Structure 1
Amino acid sequence: KKGRAVFCPMIRENDTESEENTTASTYDSIDWPSIDYDDIPTLCTKDHNRQFRRWFMPLFYSFICFLGFTGNLLVILTVFYFKRLRTMTDVFLLNLSFADLLFALSLPFWVANSTVKWVLGLALCKAVHTIYKVSFYSSMFLLSLISIDRYFAIAKAVSAHRHRSEVVFISKVSSAVIWVMAVVFSIPEMVYTDITNNTCSPFSSSFDKTRISIQTSQIVLAFVIPLLVMSICYSSILKTLWQSRTFERNKAIKVILAVVIVFLLSQLPYNLVLFWTTIVIAQGGTDDCSYDNALLYATDVTQCVAFLRCCLNPFLYAFIGVKFRYDLLKLLKDWGCMTQECFFKFTNGRRRSSWTTETETSTTVYP
């Protein structure tokens, strides 16, 4: 067989070095355009905020959920066990406990939403967020109604006594109107709630105009208006109590101051952060990543402080009342949770009739 000749050129080392030098000189001689990397947007990472939420949210939300569920459930059981729906305050306190109980029951879902991916579907996402918002608005409105009720019972005691037979019916109608209003004000967020990036959120975009209007309405309806109503009513009550000379005056003043201080300490920080966040969103957001993360940290912390109200309301508005405290202790005794000796120790051996007489004639015990 004849073989085919193959041409294989000889490459010398000097030729290779000459070719590399020529390529390098040609590359260096090209006038490459300069790139300004400062104009290229960088991704703002929020890993530290996610890690903070993984331990902060479950810890505080579980604490709030346990206290809120226990306290409000005791209020509801006490009201139905002793059939205590004889005054406007009793009706409002019962509805407030139901609202705070619903609010507390929604917190475990928000723990799961902030720590892991949302896997419960869109329908449950909308349902949980709606329950949360309805209970939130109804609680704020009911706190306003309680202050109005106390204003008429104390500052306008004469006119309130004339309509004593109608107050229970009026309170039930008012409570129904409050729940309807809470549902209506929660509709926008219920409509816009969606699953975005495996998270149940009411806003699909951080810079949506809808988010600005919803957050603004929430600040006005659920903080500014209740704060104005409570300030006007409780300031008038304090003025009336200061002019009276009853032995319960100082105690009633302390109760009212405690109610106002707790409301301000729990709600004011969160609403200030929410207000500032709304302004930042309206201006198109911020390019400072550390500033954006600081707002997220502030929102998470102040929101948990604001959520404390659902477990503090039973102690401020129900258990601090003499009649209610006695009924609660008697309920625990009847159900075997307290011995007879402990019951007489905490009640000083006094019967409910004497407690009723003491508090029915004086409306200053309730906040």
Structure 2
Amino acid sequence: MTGSRGSVLQTFLSLVIMSQLSVCTKEPMLASTVTLGNTDDYDYTSDPDDVDYGQFVLQCQKADVRSFRQSFLPAIYAVITVLGFLGNGLVVITYIYFKRLRTMTDVYLLNLALADLLFLFTLPFWAVSVVKHWIFGQVMCKTVYVLYRVSFFSGMLLLMCISIDRYFSIVRAASAHRHRSKAVYYSKIVSVCVWLFSLLLSLPELLYSDQKQSDNGMLCKMNLDNSTIVFTAGTQLAVGFFIPLVVMLFCYCVIIKTLLLARNFEKNKAIKVIIAVVLVFLMFQLPYNSVMLMDTINDVNATVADCDFSKQMNIAIDITKSLAYVRCCLNPFLYAFIGVKFRHDLLKLMKELGCMSSERLISYVNVKATLTSKRGSIATDTDSTTTFSP
């Protein structure tokens, strides 16, 4: 009995020792698998120079992209900021100085200029962050992101409101005239709603924007997952481009059709202005939104594996985004400066500021009066209203 127990114990100890030896021989193989991949494809006797490093994932180096941004973006941002502040500043000063908010278009144009100025205020911060890194802290990171987004959405929605107002002023002139006394009040309510709605759409920037440490210094960026990326990009494309574009195309197409049927000497000029407004919107907004859509799809699906293509997309985004920003400089010329009464007020303001002599102002007014008298009574109506002066 004792002999059988001894043989069983001897057999059990032998099995334990064999299992431990088996584990010890397998651990180095497991470590090799984790570090190098499939051990069946790796030749331990080969020379290190013969290893195919193309099988390893390399990080995409974008030093050339950063160099391009540091030279291109600050320069173009500086030009846009100076020209934009000059044009939109004149619009705001003229409207406030003469207190000339008599129509819905006047209210929308003033709010559009304010939105553009708010947008231009954020550009110097981005320019400094490109040249160096983000040095303004977490609070300013969120503030600049929110201001940027609010001004962007409000600007696009106000452009849409201007086209709707012109539609009712020209195509539905009788209805617009009946509500003329309350038009300014309605426009103020609409403007407040536009700003509040834009602020609501900017909540992702408030929640997810943050400064983050990187190898090249502190960054101010959005920390988003795929679902949030789709939401923010989809909102920008829909509210910031497609919806305003569809409304503008509908309103201005109907306006052009109405002008072609009207007997007015300035209808050709009005049609040219409308075409210029639509073309500028498409030329400056369509490229950026197209590139942004492609970049969003690539980010969500993780389809970009080529480093050169990724760098090309980064540069394309920088160029098209800067092109879209130029529109802030053109808005005063496309919407405010073309108005006859606004130009008169602007000239009076320039004279009172000492930028224009009284003789030059009088000569300009006399020339315009002579042209108006030659045009007749219909011209007087056109010069005093915005009906045929989009």
User: What TM-score range do you get, normalising by the shorter chain?
Assistant: 0.7 to 0.9
Match of 1:201 among 215, 221, 224: 221
Match of 1:305 among 323, 333, 344: 323
Residue 359 in structure 1 maps to residue 377 in structure 2: no
Aligned pairs for 1:67-106 (under 5 A) are 67-106=83-122
- Unaligned runs of 5+ residues in structure 2 are 1-42, 374-378
> Which residue matches 1:321?
339
Deviation of residue 54 (structure 1)?
Answer: 1.0
Deviation of residue 177 (structure 1)?
Answer: 0.2
CA distance, structure 1, for counterparts of residue 44 and residue 107 of structure 2: 84
Match of 2:154 among 138, 142, 151: 138
Give deviations 1:171-221, integer Å, cap 9, x for gaps. 00000000000000001122110112211112x36x743223211221111
Q: Which AA in structure 1 matches 2:170?
A: I
CA distance, structure 2, for counterparts of residue 44 and residue 362 of structure 1: 55
Give deviations 1:327-353, integer Å, cap 9, x for gaps. 1111000111111233234434557x9
Match of 1:210 among 220, 223, 228: 228
CA distance, structure 1, for counterparts of residue 80 and residue 159 of structure 2: 19
**SS of residue paired to 1:102:** helix
TM-score by length of 1: 0.87
CA distance, structure 2, for counterparts of residue 361 and residue 329 of structure 1: 18
Match of 1:247 among 265, 271, 278: 265
**Is the 8 Å Cα contact of residues 216 and 278 (structure 1) preserved in structure 2?**
no
Deviation of residue 358 (structure 1)?
Answer: 4.2
- Unaligned runs of 5+ residues in structure 1 are 1-28
Residues 147 and 358 from structure 1, CA distance in 2 versus in 1: closer, same or farther, beyond 3 angstroms? closer
CA distance, structure 2, for counterparts of residue 59 and residue 95 of structure 1: 27
Give deviations 1:261-320, integer Å, cap 9, x for gaps. 110111000000001111111211411000000000100000000001111101110001
Residue 129 in structure 1 maps to residue 149 in structure 2: no
Q: Which AA in structure 1 matches 2:384?
A: E
**Is the 8 Å Cα contact of residues 169 and 176 (structure 2) preserved in structure 1?**
yes
**SS of residue paired to 1:201:** strand
Q: Which AA in structure 1 matches 2:129?
A: N
Q: Which AA in structure 2 matches 1:83?
A: K
Residues 148 and 50 from structure 1, CA distance in 2 versus in 1: closer, same or farther, beyond 3 angstroms? same
CA distance, structure 2, for counterparts of residue 31 and residue 98 of structure 1: 71
Give deviations 1:75-110, integer Å, cap 9, x for gaps. 011001111111000000000010001111111001
> Which residue matches 1:186?
202
**SS of residue paired to 1:101:** helix
Q: Number of aligned pairs?
A: 335
> Could you say which structure has the higher helix fraction?
2
Residue 272 in structure 1 maps to residue 290 in structure 2: yes
Match of 1:288 among 303, 306, 326: 306
Q: CA RMSD in A?
A: 2.0
